[in-house]
Chains A and B, each alone.
Chain A
Amino acid sequence: MTKKDKKKRVLIVDDEEDMIWSLQKNLPNENLQVIIFTASSGEEALSILEKTKIDLIVTDIRMPGISGIDLLIAVRNTYPDIEVIVMTAFPSSESKAEVMEKGGLRFIEKPFDIKEMRDSVHSALKMDSHFEGKMTGIRLTDIVQIHHLSQASTVLRINDDGREGVIYFSEGTIVHATCDDLVGEEAFYKLMSFKGGTMETFYMDKFPESTISTPVDVLLLKGTLREDERDGNDDDLKDFDPELSPASEMLDEEGPPAAIYEPELEPINDEVYPAETNNEEKEEDMDELKELLTEFTNIPGVNTACLVGRDGFLLHSVALSGIDAEMIGAIASSGFGASEAMGKQLQKGGMSMTMVEYDNGPVMFSPVGSEAFLVIIADKDANLGMIRLKIKKHARDIEQKAGI
């Protein structure tokens, strides 16, 4: 066998040509001697896997046709020894990555530094040699989390020794589930109790019905706790990703987590801008706006959510006591404005969601319409994926309620 033949083989799968080109060119170096294969779709990747021995797959999650998730499932079912790194635009914290790794799955957040990717590849390939032949399949909780984080609209079918169930995702939210003769949440919890089996995803234009409105993180937590009770031990809690979920004390059988999680927050807009015309409709909108902002501060680790005009004047905020939201708005506007001006100068188009990381946690910014932006202040260990999802989910409503 020649020296070249001993090189590990890495298959990069992404429908973005620039990404493929960049990884193909930059990934291998002196310390990472690998042979790169590339595929611009899941279909092409499966075709390469049939003909070529691959040690590691680095795949994007959102691709037309066979998605990264479909590919992942196919690989786990057919080539269980192949390591997989999933590239996603939805970040996961260190602990989340750790949990995922235990299930044989690695995440890397887009955009990433090439060194970071090299480290991941290096680590994945080393791990492969260490655990060769002992990898277990990916778990249902992992798959559910991936669908949720990637805002997938898809159907996940699970088979376990003759039993079958289906989970329907609409933009990452679980809207329906069936299992045996069960429907809705109970079906989902039943599926969570499956100890093994196979999984496949497929697309469906229309879901048969909508039977679930509980947030995914709460479903997962409840499912895990039920399994705990059933098994009579706490070990299964490791299956649950705490980063993706509100704190366990937020779990409320009667209502949403917001009812329990009450950080020391104060809405301050009314004092800052007394309404000139206090009609009921406006007040209702303001109440609803406050509720929307509170959705962010209900995420553990998020302590402040501000809606700020492009001119830096605060429109509304739910802020941790002691935070000068008015001043934060003014300063954030400078940063946001400067970043936008840079994009304009570089002809990069409008600005989308962005984040500034500090030692003690990130601050996220996101435009809301053309006249305002959101500022979300979080602690170091806050679930950034959840913040992003909520921004995407609520940006339009916030714009509407704020009348901007």
Chain B
Amino acid sequence: MEEGKILDIAHVSFLDMIKVMITMSGAANAKGTLIRNALSTADKIKEVSYDTFDDYLAAIENTTNPIAMIEGKSSHEGEHVFGLASCPFGPSIKNYMSVFEKMPDGYADFTAEFNKPSRVTDMYRVGEGAGVSPFCSVHQPMRSAVAEKITIDGKKIKIYQLGCKSGAGKKGFAEKWIDESGVSKDVVDKVLDNHMCCYFLKIVE
């Protein structure tokens, strides 16, 4: 532990709590609990309708868009592909690392568990390789669930998580969702060069 650093316990206790959850009830159950927690938060978001896709983008810009409210401003990279420059958990991870120098044990197992095919990740089109840390199991399903509260021109939208990048720069790709969305993997790779997270928004006809 590095001396002279202030630990942001409001956030970093969550990081250690994940480790405790893994120890107490296994990675699969911990994953389920975090996803359930994320869905519970998403459930509190009010439904929003936008007349046009441009209105949707404008709402991101002024952070009134529910997705922007949970993760900050994302940028539209064209063809409904979005990039998020900063991971919402970045500051907490950075603070934790600055004090303890490494992330808690068990995170790799947890991340592998999140990337496994499962009904819940299928339902929200997340994971499948796009998980690079346990926080992805909170962020990605929460975004997908929030998207269910949004309509554009009266039509529902679906989010496909295409890829994510760890703090160390390692990229994770969700081949399944890349294939299903029809977005080129090269495009995802390029978006991740300058962003931490990449997703596709589909307007359901």
Contacts and interface: CB of A to CB of B under 8 A. Distances in A.
Contacts of B30: 337
Contacts of A280: none
A273 B119 contact: yes
Nearest to B39: A313
Contacts of B116: 371
B26 A310 contact: yes
Interface string A314-358: 010000000000000010011011101100100000000000000
B33 interface: yes
A334 B28 CA distance: 10
B36 A312 contact: yes
Interface string B2-37: 000000000000000000000111101111110110
B25 A313 contact: no
Interface residues of B, number: 19
A252 interface: no
B51 interface: no
| Max count, chain A CB within 10 A of own CB: residue among B23, B24, B25, B123 | B25
Contacts of A336: 29
A340 B41 CA distance: 28
Nearest to B120: A313
A341 B29 CA distance: 10
Contacts of B36: 312, 330
Nearest to A308: B32
B122 A276 contact: yes
Given A273-B119, A276-B122, A313 B32 contact: yes
A334 to B, nearest CB: 6
B127 to A, nearest CB: 11
B64 interface: no
Interface in A114-167: none
A313 B118 contact: yes
A347 to B, nearest CB: 15
Contacts of B113: 311
A311 B115 CA distance: 12
Interface in B100-144: 113, 116, 118-120, 122-123
Contacts of B32: 309-313, 330, 333
A311 B23 contact: no
A237 to B, nearest CB: 46
Contacts of A334: 25, 29, 33
Interface string B35-66: 11000000000000000000000000000000
Contact of B25 (A273, A274, A338): A338
Task: Please report whether the interface of chain B is mostly helix, strand, loop or mixed according to DSSP.
Answer: helix
A337 B110 CA distance: 14
Interface residues of A, number: 19
B133 to A, nearest CB: 17
A269 to B, nearest CB: 9
Contacts of B119: 273, 309, 313, 315
Contact of B24 (A310, A315, A333, A338): A338
A311 B35 contact: yes
Nearest to A314: B119
Contacts of A312: 29, 32-33, 36
A284 to B, nearest CB: 18
B122 A310 contact: no
B26 A337 contact: yes
Contacts of A313: 32, 35, 118-120
Nearest to A335: B25
Contacts of B24: 337-338, 341
| Max count, chain A CB within 10 A of own CB: residue among B26, B113, B118, B120 | B26
A313 B118 CA distance: 9
A276 B28 CA distance: 23
A134 to B, nearest CB: 55
Given A273-B123, A330-B32, A330-B36, A309 B118 contact: yes
A341 B30 CA distance: 12
B26 A341 contact: yes
B28 A310 contact: yes
A312 B34 CA distance: 11
- 5 closest A-B pairs (Cβ-Cβ)? A337-B29, A311-B32, A337-B25, A310-B28, A312-B32
Interface of B: 23-26, 28-33, 35-36, 113, 116, 118-120, 122-123
24 contacts: A309-B120, A310-B28, A310-B32, A311-B32, A311-B35, A312-B29, A312-B33, A312-B36, A313-B35, A313-B118, A313-B120, A315-B119, A330-B33, A330-B36, A333-B28, A334-B29, A337-B24, A337-B25, A337-B28, A337-B30, A338-B24, A340-B25, A340-B26, A341-B23
Given A273-B122, A337-B28, A340-B26, 11 more contacts: A309-B32, A310-B28, A311-B35, A311-B118, A313-B32, A315-B119, A330-B33, A333-B25, A333-B32, A337-B26, A337-B29
